[in-house]
Structure 1
Amino acid sequence: MRSYSLDDVHAARKRRDSWWTVYLVDPLACRTALLVANRTRITPNELTVASLVIGLVSAVCFALDLLVAGAAAFYLSFMVDCVDGKIARLKGTGTPFGLWLDYVGDRVRVVLCATGLAYGQYALTGDVRFIVLGAGVAVLDLFRYVNAPQMKRVREIIRESRVEAAELAEAARVWHREYATAVREPVLDLRIVDEPSLGEGDDEPVGAAVDDDEAVEHVAAAARRRGRNRKFSRRLNRYLARRRIRTHLISGIEFHAAVFVVAPVVGVAALVPVSAVAGVLLLANEIFLVYRMWRFTRRHTVSSRQESREHVLV
């Protein structure tokens, strides 16, 4: 059996991950993965099942009001879940069924732990807020995992259509060149361009000169601000990329950590407020991602109309 090094395990990490995983889970998960890879024959799917079982233990602890024990079990369950992916990438033993099992196991663990937490606190206090808390956590998590693959699908469809449009445009250009060569005449370029007005009698002048210096300066200042924002964004992105951290502050992983690790360790009084704040931040992040996807689709739609018009006229 091949002997792996810690560098091999580090190379098997995700290219970018959540800050909670990078700083608070991976240091332990990488060493655990090294031990599992070199000393055992445990498969990634077996690790996924083990993670789900530990998650069930966490849910039982929450239901019995053993909050700290439940938080520790949830952290351990997530850590083992991180190990299975590293082992799969390290040994090349990942399977499509393993992807499905990992996906479904994560959802089951969250639902069980949310149910255990809500039931345990409601049984003790009779406070309906804990029922709302459990339901809200489960619904938010399910929404995130339903929304993410759909957004990915939309982007893939748009990228595929762009590739097809580019191929059609290239084919049209080749045809025009061949046709021009065959008839030995230049192809007339009819693309729409801005031109100066031909006179006062024109109904719709094609172009107009901008004489307002203040307006020009305003546009230039806005362009400079956008440039500075882009530079800052690129620098921040490069800084985070060097540390393998995703750009968003809170994802599902941080949401789970806040609800099932941080809040239970702090105490019962923190369960509702911490979970509520984490839920609002997660929902805001999802709305922002949807907004970015909407902007992406709008840019593609506008680009497609312009390209289509040029393809017809050229």
Structure 2
Amino acid sequence: MGGFTLDDILATRKPRDSWWTVFMVDPLACRLALLVANHTSITPNGLTRLSMLIGFASAAAFTEGMLAAGAVLFYLSFTVDCMDGKIARLKGTGTPFGLWLDYVGDRVRVVCCAFGWGFGEYTRTGDTDVVLAAVGVVVLDLFRYINGPQLKRVKDATRALLYARLDGQYVLAESVLRSRPRSELEQAAAEFGEVATDEGATVVDLQKAFHARFPWYDRFRVFLVRHRVRTHVVSGIEFHAAVFVVGPLFGPRAMVPVSVVAGALLLTFEMSLVYRVWLAARQVPSTAAEKQKILV
């Protein structure tokens, strides 16, 4: 039905993604997406609904104590979920409603699977720690999705305030880097504090304070960029993978400890985002003297 190649599918991948997706899911998802694109007429929304159905099957398996089956089904559900965006970008068949469906589908899958293994294990063992872990997983997942949009609002407000204080006569260092080819981006990122534009515009680095505290960060970021991996190393995707794939494969006794460790790492990385946004907000000058300090 189509003449798409694997290169076409690979071109639809996100520029940067979670390491779990890049290394553990995309190699399979891209090849399955190629089959779907060339031999079926299934839509991205159809794939999202299929992902949700497999997610329900995973939750049912967890409830019945079939942890390994639940883990495999959860992995398959996420793999199909990764395919819908690729098909949408490849064929241009994405819809605004599909964005909502994809978001809600992810949340429903997490809630069902969490309470599936939580209350399923509780009915078999009477261990209340499993129930508390399941509730904690749901709360952390919701917190992550609440925290992200709020941090974006703070970033946008910080940039708007900076624009007003500097009368719009500046360009953000991160914008300069995004506009460059990847090879130049990697080189410039390694010397982030020396970024400049060809037009000679004033360059402002809102991350100057963060870079001063963590000079190794940009080298780490460049290393990850070369492998298409984002710097938020433990995001919701890795959290879900640990809780619903890795933990269950190691058996009932591993599920609570794995959830606790994964949750702690998720919170650590979420708080690191909050810290970076807080430092950036403090860079906005309030006086003429402070204007000179923020210039790169």
Question: Does the alignment reach a TM-score above 0.5?
Answer: yes
Q: Which amino acid aligns with 2:255?
A: L
Q: RMSD of aligned C-alpha atoms?
A: 2.2
CA separation of 1:167/1:253 partners in 2, compared to 1, >3 Å: closer, same or farther?
Answer: same
TM-score by length of 2: 0.80
Instruction: Give 1:27's aligned residue.
Output: 27
Q: Mean alpha-carbon deviation: is it higher for 128-137 or for 155-164?
A: 155-164
Q: Which amino acid aligns with 1:119?
A: F
Kindly state the Cα deviation for residue 31 of structure 1 after the two structures are TM-superposed. 0.2
Q: 1:296 aligns with which of 270, 280, 283?
A: 280
CA separation of 1:141/1:105 partners in 2, compared to 1, >3 Å: closer, same or farther?
Answer: same
Q: Which amino acid aligns with 2:69?
A: A
Q: 2:235 aligns with which of 241, 245, 251?
A: 251
User: What are the Cα deviations for residues 241-288 of structure 1, in whole angstroms up to 9, with x where unaligned?
Assistant: 111011132111111011100010111110111111101111111111
Runs of 4+ residues deviating >4 angstroms? 164-170, 226-229, 307-310
Q: Mean alpha-carbon deviation: is it higher for 155-164 or for 135-144?
A: 155-164
CA distance in 2 between counterparts of 1:19 and 1:74 reads 17
Instruction: Give 1:146's aligned residue.
Output: 146
Instruction: Give 1:272's aligned residue.
Output: 256
Maintained 8 Å contact 2:62/2:117: yes
Maintained 8 Å contact 2:62/2:70: yes
Query: How many residues end up aligned between the 2 structures?
Result: 253
CA distance in 1 between counterparts of 2:73 and 2:55 reads 7
Matches within 5 A, 1:107-146: 107-146=107-146
Gaps of 5+ in 1: 171-225
Instruction: Give 1:39's aligned residue.
Output: 39
Rg larger in structure: 1
Instruction: Give 1:210's aligned residue.
Output: none
User: What are the Cα deviations for residues 103-148 of structure 1, in whole angstroms up to 9, with x where unaligned?
Assistant: 1110110000001011110000011001101100000000000110
Q: Mean alpha-carbon deviation: is it higher for 2-11 or for 75-84?
A: 2-11
CA separation of 1:169/1:278 partners in 2, compared to 1, >3 Å: closer, same or farther?
Answer: closer
Q: Secondary structure, in 3 states, of the residue corresponding to 1:108?
A: helix
CA distance in 1 between counterparts of 2:35 and 2:224 reads 29
Kindly state the Cα deviation for residue 55 of structure 1 after the two structures are TM-superposed. 0.4
Kindly state the Cα deviation for residue 291 of structure 1 after the two structures are TM-superposed. 1.0
TM-score by length of 1: 0.76
Q: 1:306 aligns with which of 283, 288, 296?
A: 288
Instruction: Give 2:91's aligned residue.
Output: 91
Q: Secondary structure, in 3 states, of the residue corresponding to 2:223?
A: helix
CA distance in 2 between counterparts of 1:17 and 1:253 reads 10
Kindly state the Cα deviation for residue 307 of structure 1 after the two structures are TM-superposed. 7.5
